[in-house]
Amino acid sequence: MLIKGLIIVLGLFCCQLQAQEPVTLQLKWTHQFQFSGYYMAKHKGFYKEVGLDVNILPANLSMPDSFDAVARGEVQFGIGHSGVLQQRIAGKPLVAMAAILQFSPYCWMVKDSSDIFHARDFITKRVTTSGKRENTELLIMLQRSGINTDRLAHYEGDNPTRAWIDNKVDAMQVYVTDLPYYMAQQGIAHRLICPQRYGMDLYADILFTSQSMLKNHPQTVESFYQASLKGWRYAMMNMDEA
């Protein structure tokens, strides 16, 4: 009876191992705290608990686009910016699952010594290049404040951060989770000009999938969604560990 019981246990264990469904999450950037909820979901076994073997794939920095990979079915899930709405309107079969960031993380960063206090102050200023696809809100914020963004002097060098530090650039587009923190650590006083102050309150770091994935594998989508949010709750409650 003992041997029979062991065989049954081993059989169930093997079935559980075989039941792990492989899926891939395509990040919008390189590995960093910005995606900590997904790392915690994987590290703490939350994905495994729901039968998923999750590969977390960093972006190709030469072309950090998660939309096409999901739309083509190369990966099952992706993290994207608010441009997922534009992609959907343009006909790509993408479905938003969760908005992890409740406001846009994109801001303009200026030195404390700068005379830029409001969006309207950007006239004649030198700025780092702002993409029209991933952070449109930065440009719209300026346009709504009367700034002709086509006439702004754009810095297109290799190291915009160094240029900003050296006062070769007046304003630099930043992601609030990294560069402002870095500058504070370096003792460089600064302030942020952010879209939400000007009525551009957008979600960001949106978890999404494809229509075909949702239609053909609804349980997989639901399981990934629930385990991911569990990972985020854990990360926020255990930030030192995360």
Q: Going by DSSP bridges, is the β-strand pair 21-26/77-80 parallel, antiparallel, or unpaired?
A: parallel
> What is the amino acid identity at position 8?
I
At residue 2, the pLDDT reads 53
At residue 73, the pLDDT reads 94
Three-state secondary-structure class, residue 108: strand
Supply the mean pLDDT for the chain.
Answer: 89
Three-state secondary-structure class, residue 192: strand
Three-state secondary-structure class, residue 9: helix
User: What is the chain's Cα-based Rg?
Assistant: 22
At residue 5, the pLDDT reads 52
Of the chain, the end-to-end C-alpha distance in Å amounts to 45
* Residue 237 CB burial class (10 angstroms; 0-12, 13-18, ≥19): exposed
Cβ atoms < 10 Å from Cβ of 122: 23
**Domains of the chain, CATH where assigned:** 22-101+203-237 (3.40.190.10), 106-198 (3.40.190.10)
- Tell me the pLDDT tens digit for each residue of 98-124: 999 988 889 999 999 999 999 999 999
Helices (H), ranges, 65-157: 67-71, 84-89, 136-144
Low-confidence ranges of the chain (pLDDT < 70): 1-18, 130-135
Lookup: tokens for 46: 């939350």
> What is the amino acid identity at position 74?
E
Cβ atoms < 10 Å from Cβ of 23: 20
Lookup: tokens for 4: 């029979």
pTM of the model: 0.81
Q: How far apart are CA 122 and CA 170, in angstroms?
A: 9
Q: Are 195 and 106 in contact, with CB atoms under 8 Å apart? A: yes
Q: Going by DSSP bridges, is the β-strand pair 126-128/153-155 parallel, antiparallel, or unpaired?
A: parallel
Q: Going by DSSP bridges, is the β-strand pair 172-175/153-155 parallel, antiparallel, or unpaired?
A: unpaired
**Cα–Cα separations (whole angstroms), residue 235 to 27, 35, 81, 103, 206:** 17, 10, 21, 19, 17
At residue 130, the pLDDT reads 63
